A = this chain, B = another copy of it.
Amino acid sequence: MASNAIYIEAINQAIIEEMERDTSVFIMGEDIRRSVYGATAGLLDRFGENRVLDTPLSENGFFGAAIGASLVGMRPVVETLTSFMWVAMDQLVSQAAKMRYMFGGQATLPVVYRATMFYGGGSAAHHSDRSYPMFMNMPGFKILVPATPRDAKGLLKTAIRDNDPCIVFEDGTLSGAAGEIEAGDAALVPFGVADVAREGSDVTIVAIAGAVPMALRAAEELEADGISAEVIDPRTLVPLDKGTILDSVGKTGRLVVVDPAHKVCSAASEIASIVSEEAFWDLQAPIMKVAAEQVHIPYTPVLERLVYPSAEKVVTAARATMDE
């Protein structure tokens, strides 16, 4: 049965359902017993200290401990922020990402990293990372970017059941976003299946995570001037549902990619490069990237808001493709 929930509640429910379902699932992170970031509320009471671990401030140590536990049959869920992954890159890259291949398939690592991206709220340069493009370049992670409560819950549940290292990039700008969610297995969302958030015929807008609502707002504005925009949410970047994007461009001939990450070597760059190779003959206009400016995140709100994509920037880019 479906119900309504906000993004952060959906995550909480996914964790509860999977911990109920499988006793090998446990969660670890900093101050999660008291749910400092909100997603782990009620877990301690329900599952006890043995399965809800508050860690010392040692991300490299406990990210790696999660890997080791996963190798011997556990299914750890690790809570963190994207900005705290830098100190743990050793374990993320050299162990989680590489281990299975390096050992010829002997290692199986069902570990999930839940990394919240806090940006847009004056958190400044040290707490505003949107780092999924860097992890896309490194083989070995399944990379999930839910933009709705349904996908936040469904992709996390699928990730916990998946047998490979997964990173869920949870978008902090969406924490309070409401939507309908399912319960139990009905809530599962498959990897590699993009969501056509809105159908259209003139221009394809591929939008990632927090950019999806912007793209939908932009699509409404565009409709006002008679431009029909199709909005595609890839939902997972590894694997990436190329087919849905290529088909849409085949229909519209125009592409705008909206990505909250820094624009150089971004997910938008990757998607643009795929389309310019595989759907070149369908294109009727240049591919437009709308991504974060290549500067760090300034604290002051008057500057921070200028960094990211916005509905306005998307509208401008989409119009530009139409003028061609």
A residues with CB within 8 A of B: 60, 83, 86-87, 89-90, 92-94, 97-98, 101-102, 124-126, 131, 133-134, 136-140, 238, 261-262, 264-270, 272-273, 275-278, 280-281, 283, 285-289, 294-296, 298
What 8 pairs across the A-B complex have the smallest Cβ distances? Answer: A280-B286, A276-B276, A272-B273, A89-B89, A269-B273, A134-B134, A102-B125, A137-B265
Closest residue of chain B to A272 (Cβ to Cβ) is B273
Which chain B residues border A83 with CB–CB below 8 Å? Answer: 94
CB–CB A262/B139 < 8 A: yes
Task: From B90, B98, B124, B126, give the contact of A296 (CB < 8 A).
Answer: B98
Most B CB contacts (10 A, CB to CB) among A124, A264, A267, A296 go to A264
Chain B: CB-nearest residue to A92: B86
From known contacts A137-B261, A262-B139, A277-B287, infer whether A102 and B89 are also in contact, taking CB-CB under 8 Å.
no
- Are A272 and B276 closer than 8 Å at their CB atoms? yes
Q: How far is the CB of A290 from chain B (nearest CB, A)?
A: 11
Copies of the polypeptide in the assembly = 2
Q: Bound state CA distance, A285 and B279, in angstroms? A: 11
- Most B-side CB within 10 Å, residue of A60, A93, A261: A93
A63 to chain B, nearest CB (A): 12
| A-B CB contact pairs (8 Å), 14 listed | A86-B89, A86-B94, A87-B89, A87-B90, A98-B125, A98-B296, A133-B137, A133-B265, A134-B137, A137-B261, A138-B262, A139-B296, A268-B273, A277-B286
Other contacts beyond A86-B90, A98-B296: 8, CB < 8 A = A86-B93, A86-B94, A87-B90, A134-B137, A139-B295, A265-B269, A277-B288, A280-B286
